[in-house]
Structure 1
Amino acid sequence: MESTSQSYVPSVPSTKLAKPSFWKKLRGHAVGDDKPIGYLFILPALIHLAVFTLIPILFSLYLSFHKWSILKPAKPFVGLKNYIKMYHDTDFWRAMVNTFYFVFGSVPTGIAVSLLVAIVLNRKLRGVYWFRAFFFLPVVSSTVAIAMVWQWILQPEFGLLNYLLGFAGIEGPKWLMDPKWAMFAVIIVTVWKGIGYQMIIFLAGLQGIPEHLYEAARIDGANKWRIFWSVTLPLLMPTVFFLTVTTIIGSFQAFTVIYMLTEGGPVGSTDVVVYHIYEQAFRVFNMGYASAQSWLLFLIIFVITIIQVKFMKKFNYEH
């Protein structure tokens, strides 16, 4: 009789890969998947960046070669006429001079004062955290509200500042109403508002300096002034560079303080480039010409930033 037993066939494991889970896709590139699902999480930010930043930038470049009033749909092509007009526009170049005056007046002063405040508040003093919060308060306050308060402080007849100067026998100027003093007053308000932010950055840099370097300098007989120049300042140069670059860019784009305090006056003494662009765009409704001015301002900021980067690299190489 023939055997009826069935032969045993071993099972062969399947070579088909299991479908990766959602979390594997989220963590990175899963097996057989070239695009992680994590890209979906940055998609809203990319859409926001494209709609509200990239597209307006490209549209402004397009407008700089056209003549367009926001009240009319037609956009006739004018080529380089907007840029040629800007070259001969004395009001625009006066605003550019005022902008450089504002930048060179506010940036070095703000950085120097902020560094001094940071050094003082870096010590272990009683209630030092309250003082830090006090100096940082203007940063988180509304610029519009701050400007309204400073308008009262700088008022020539019953303002607080001239009232205090009167106790010292000093006749205060007209500040915002005097072309000679208006920009100086704007610089004071700008520096006061920016001290808190720059102070926090300097505090982070100061607290990153190793204590043993100060101890070694004291053992060598260095005084406080020598320690500052030989230890503190060189190690703070990356922080100074960062604040210089960002503050210069922000100063070239100053608008709110100018708009609230002086509106470019008196007699155009505080008319900076961004405020001048605003007037061309939303008061004269010359969008094409305003766009051309914006792109020139961008090129100036870009060149100045590149020069600062080159200078910092050279400084690091030499030291």
Structure 2
Amino acid sequence: MTSSAVREADVAAPAAASAPPAGRGRRRGRSDLGWALVFVLPLFAGIALFYLWPIVRNLWFSFTEWGPFGDSEWVGLDNYIELAGDATMGRAILNTLGYTAMLLCGVPLAIYFASLLNRPGLRFANLFRTAFFLPYVAMPAAISMVWRIIYNGDFGILNYALSLIGIDGPSWLSTEGVALVAVALVGIWISLGFNLIILSAGMKGIPVELYEAASLDGATRWKQFTTITVPLLTPSIFFVSVMTVIAGFQVFDLLYALMGTQNPAIDKTQSVVYYFFTNIKTGDNGYAAAIGVVILLLVGIFTLLQFRLQKKWVTYV
């Protein structure tokens, strides 16, 4: 045997000795898969129990009609056919779309405030961020009580301020057409803090060198904002927009706490979720379940539409 063959045999022998048998490798792979399932299974079980099962159960209820004693009867598509001709449901959908559109108007406002809070050398920036974020974590009932006093048509501070400049303010929460705008303004104020935190974090991820290079080229602050900040911030803007649309379609607590159930304008201002609540309250659970399915479809359609459109305007670096 030549010396080169001896060396090759010496190198191959340890490698062959260290390689595990084929059967042992397969057993180890199955063991790793088993442990992975052990750790992932509780998560999947929670999702199935608290998310998927209620959706399936609600879908089943939407094809039934419930009696006064909790007994149900299969009615097929009758609830959906009735929904298609329900004028109140159509008005609730339009109110929800209008509220969501007004809520989206708060996104540019959040971008503006985030750019101000991210200016170099700004003192007490964290204090300002905390002040903006507090309404988002506060109890909706407490916020609504404060805003009901502000919006009061007789002694509210808003109408008092308008009277100083000769304007007779309306009864904000009980006037049709005005009430939805009043509720949307509170919604914008509440969501502003969350949007501002997300957008501020996105701005901090933009390299400072880009602004320095643009400044050397003579770009003004506004030019830097429109050509650097906004394009590179579009992923954060997209995320905030998706969350805002979902929150807009789920609006209920503000309407309920601000306007109540006896408000004369609530029938013309209610959202889809509020209409769902009124049907649950009257015991029409099958019809309410059909409304819940419609809400799920609306949220899914608009979210999918946003994901499709984001390819045209979102810039990922």
Please indicate the TM-score interval, normalised by the length of the shorter structure: 0.7 to 0.9
1:113 to 97, 109, 117: 109
Q: Please name the residue that 2:213 is paired with.
A: 216
Report the secondary structure of 1:76's partner residue. Answer: strand
Q: CA deviation at 1:118?
A: 0.7
Instruction: Report the AA paired with residue 68 of structure 1.
Output: W
Q: Please name the residue that 2:228 is paired with.
A: 231
Q: CA deviation at 1:266?
A: 3.4
In the alignment, structure 1 residue 300 sits paired with structure 2 residue 277: no
Q: CA deviation at 1:272?
A: 0.6
Q: CA deviation at 1:213?
A: 0.9
1:199 to 182, 196, 201: 196
Instruction: Report the AA paired with residue 217 of structure 1.
Output: A
Q: CA deviation at 1:54?
A: 1.7
Q: Deviations along 1:190-225, whole A, 9 cap, x unmatched? A: 000111100000000111111111112122222122
Instruction: Report the AA paired with residue 100 of structure 1.
Output: L
Q: Please name the residue that 1:284 is paired with.
A: 282
* Counterparts of 1:261 and 1:84, CA distance in 2: 32
Q: Please name the residue that 2:269 is paired with.
A: 270
* Counterparts of 2:217 and 2:153, CA distance in 1: 53
Q: CA deviation at 1:165?
A: 2.3
Give unpaired runs (5+ residues) of structure 2: 1-19, 22-26
Q: Please name the residue that 1:78 is paired with.
A: 75
Give yes or no for contact 1:182–1:266 (8 Å, CA) kept in 2.
Answer: no
Report the secondary structure of 2:69's partner residue. Answer: coil
Instruction: Report the AA paired with residue 132 of structure 2.
Output: F
2:165 to 141, 165, 168: 168
* Counterparts of 1:32 and 1:296, CA distance in 2: 43
Q: Report the more deviating stretch, 44-53 or 297-306.
A: 44-53
Q: CA deviation at 1:288?
A: 0.9
Give yes or no for contact 1:263–1:271 (8 Å, CA) kept in 2.
Answer: no
How does the TM-score come out when normalised to structure 1? 0.85
Richer in helix (by share): 2
Give yes or no for contact 1:176–1:266 (8 Å, CA) kept in 2.
Answer: no
Report the secondary structure of 1:56's partner residue. Answer: helix
Give yes or no for contact 2:232–2:315 (8 Å, CA) kept in 1.
Answer: no
* Counterparts of 2:123 and 2:226, CA distance in 1: 27
Give yes or no for contact 1:66–1:75 (8 Å, CA) kept in 2.
Answer: yes
2:138 to 123, 141, 156: 141
Give yes or no for contact 2:238–2:314 (8 Å, CA) kept in 1.
Answer: no
* Counterparts of 1:31 and 1:86, CA distance in 2: 53
Q: Please name the residue that 1:48 is paired with.
A: 46
Give yes or no for contact 2:235–2:315 (8 Å, CA) kept in 1.
Answer: no
Q: CA deviation at 1:74?
A: 2.3
Q: CA deviation at 1:189?
A: 0.5
Q: Please name the residue that 1:155 is paired with.
A: 152
1:6-21 equivalences in 2 (<5 Å): none
Q: Deviations along 1:270-305, whole A, 9 cap, x unmatched? A: 211010011111x22111111111112221221211
* Counterparts of 1:237 and 1:316, CA distance in 2: 5
Give unpaired runs (5+ residues) of structure 1: 1-15, 18-28
Instruction: Report the AA paired with residue 215 of structure 1.
Output: E
Q: Deviations along 1:75-102, whole A, 9 cap, x unmatched? A: 2111110000001111110111111111
In the alignment, structure 1 residue 186 sits paired with structure 2 residue 183: yes
Report the secondary structure of 1:79's partner residue. Answer: coil
Report the secondary structure of 1:173's partner residue. Answer: coil
Q: CA deviation at 1:187?
A: 0.7
* Counterparts of 1:65 and 1:185, CA distance in 2: 36
Instruction: Report the AA paired with residue 285 of structure 2.
Output: M
Q: Please name the residue that 2:9 is paired with.
A: none
Give yes or no for contact 1:67–1:77 (8 Å, CA) kept in 2.
Answer: yes
Report the secondary structure of 1:266's partner residue. Answer: coil
Report the secondary structure of 2:73's partner residue. Answer: coil
Report the secondary structure of 2:31's partner residue. Answer: coil
Instruction: Report the AA paired with residue 117 of structure 1.
Output: F
* Counterparts of 1:31 and 1:93, CA distance in 2: 56
Alignment RMSD (CA, Å): 2.4
Instruction: Report the AA paired with residue 291 of structure 1.
Output: A
* Counterparts of 2:169 and 2:212, CA distance in 1: 47
1:126 to 112, 123, 126: 123
Report the secondary structure of 1:269's partner residue. Answer: helix
